[in-house]
A and B are shown apart, each in its own frame.
Chain A
């Protein structure tokens, strides 16, 4: 195998791992507060479309990224209005939000670009080369010649880790996910914390979607999120709800998705669909083989206050 192929593989691993990392970091915070947002996929696809439309309208990839985060946040707001505000079942609500996200983005896309959809070429988010670091052999270009969203993911992981485990706010947030009654008794506004955590997760998922459209694909296509929201939720469990481990797990799954470039370079002639299915199979296998299973937040997916 040539060095060039390996470098290409590593670069693609990070590029494909970043959206998973962003979405999973946000979801980790959401889940730590006791809310599981299966509607993450809806935020992701909304972020991709929002990012695409804004970058087209404003001619700037950076503006697209911000708009993508905003779109993801709006979708999460709908989810939170039901699951946190009304206390509806989180799994079913999230499924509806995913369906709605895919449906409404498809409708908006077709309304904007015609029934068949145009092959959009978007103002992309160019890679930002970090001097010196990008010159490290092998991993230099992979890690440090990426879109700015990648650096955000690198920085967010330790920041969120510090927030969760070293600050009083992080403690309050985790208390909402472990024992909301006790948190309430201690004066924490549980619903407000859960709402904020859910919106934060939605914004990051939207950012992940914008990264997909603007830094990876350079275009928007219906259903382009392709289940990444669900993989991100699996990544949270594999990363044991710990932001640092979540980042590492996400990059690992980016590598699984990028494996097609490597295997093709090696000359392994496998059917195309095999590569498409691979990330899901790897995720399933990782969930099945997860050693020393970590415990999920005790109140995860339980509406609070307990429905009458």
Chain B
């Protein structure tokens, strides 16, 4: 194969090309739609850019802070998808983790921070994994697809959190639908003094690296990828216990989403309230797909969607574009990744054939 063709083949295989193309395509389509809606796309874009990246304060206190739960849930979705399981319920697992975490933060006031923080985050992981256990066990034991069940569990979790902040965990005066602030010792310290960026960012960074290493270098990580590629082939040719691999991947996926809820409570809000998450569990799907299901890519795309979230708020303030457009943009990103992924595969097939 001549060099030019080989480089074209390599280029056509790169997930970075798809991701960059998807972002460009989304920006174009969103711009046209905004213009059709009677908004000024340039004003909206510049307001969003300034809101997300305009100052060190914006980058560290808003964009990066919002990226933390997106990276954590995005890693969770990545792991589940890599194993060939559809965890569409990260939103509910996040809430389950937040409820468990905030409970620890409220009752553990007497404990020192070096005990309380790990216990809180651990409880959040357990809460998320517990929530994820229902759909994956229904899949493996009863043969019910996890797609709908994981989604339905999210609605249950959101109502559970609402019940908690109106009932058992409501702040003592019983006025506001939220919990009392968690103990000082349970809070994550700031990472950069004077900003809102907390140690949770380091946790997200470390877990992304850990997941990358796990999938790439470990035997069990290989099994996850094998099962994701073909459950039957992995079971028959590789003698892999596919059920066990999927159970592990899905529960860990839920734990990561639960951790996102715990980190948000311990690092940012210090309390639980309704609407804690603006749909991070769903955005996580866009985060993971845009990253090509690569854990290190999730760091980049998580930051990108954190910026979108931060930018959307600024867009609403400065350019009067409803922030709900950010949700629509997430949908466009997923569709663009899908379309370009198909086009790329087509191109690759062409190049190889000739």
Contact = CB atoms under 8 A, between A and B. Distances in A.
Interface of A: 38, 78, 82, 86-89, 91-93, 95-97, 99-104, 106-108, 110-111, 115, 222, 226-227, 230-231, 233-234, 237, 271-274, 276-277, 280-281, 283-284, 287-288, 290, 293, 307-308
A283 B334 CA distance: 28
B325 A103 contact: yes
| Among B147, B324, B330, B342, residue most surrounded by chain A Cβ atoms (within 10 Å) | B324
B111 interface: no
B166 A227 contact: no
Nearest to B135: A284
Contacts of B160: 273, 277
B143 A293 contact: yes
Contacts of A293: 142-143
Nearest to A307: B345
A95 B155 contact: no
Nearest to A115: B322
B335 A96 contact: yes
A93 B37 CA distance: 24
B322 A110 contact: yes
A276 B327 CA distance: 24
Given A95-B88, A96-B335, A277 B285 contact: no
Contacts of A234: 148, 152
B163 A274 contact: yes
A26 B288 CA distance: 31
A111 B322 contact: yes
A106 B339 contact: no
B71 interface: no
Q: Top 8 A-B pairs ranked by shortest CB distance?
A: A100-B331, A103-B327, A103-B328, A106-B324, A96-B334, A273-B163, A277-B159, A88-B338
Contacts of A91: 86, 88, 147
A96 B156 CA distance: 21
| Among A86, A231, A274, residue most surrounded by chain B Cβ atoms (within 10 Å) | A86
Given A102-B327, A107-B322, A307-B345, A281 B334 contact: no
Interface in B313-329: 316, 322, 324-329
Interface string B267-306: 0000000000000001001100100000000000000000
| Among A106, A231, A280, residue most surrounded by chain B Cβ atoms (within 10 Å) | A280
| Among B331, B341, B349, residue most surrounded by chain A Cβ atoms (within 10 Å) | B331
Contact of B326 (A87, A103, A115): A103
5 contacts: A89-B338, A95-B88, A96-B338, A99-B328, A102-B327
Given A111-B37, A284-B134, A99 B152 contact: no
Given A103-B325, A271-B163, A284-B134, A93 B338 contact: yes
Interface in B129-157: 134, 138, 142-145, 147-149, 151-153, 155-156
Contacts of A89: 338
Nearest to B335: A96
B197 interface: no
B141 to A, nearest CB: 9
A268 B233 CA distance: 53
A155 B282 CA distance: 37
Contact of A107 (B142, B153, B167, B328): B328
Given A233-B148, A288-B138, A307-B342, A99 B322 contact: no
| Among A78, A222, A271, residue most surrounded by chain B Cβ atoms (within 10 Å) | A271
A288 B297 CA distance: 36
B330 A99 contact: yes
B5 interface: no
Contacts of B163: 271, 273-274
Given A231-B152, A280-B156, A86 B322 contact: no
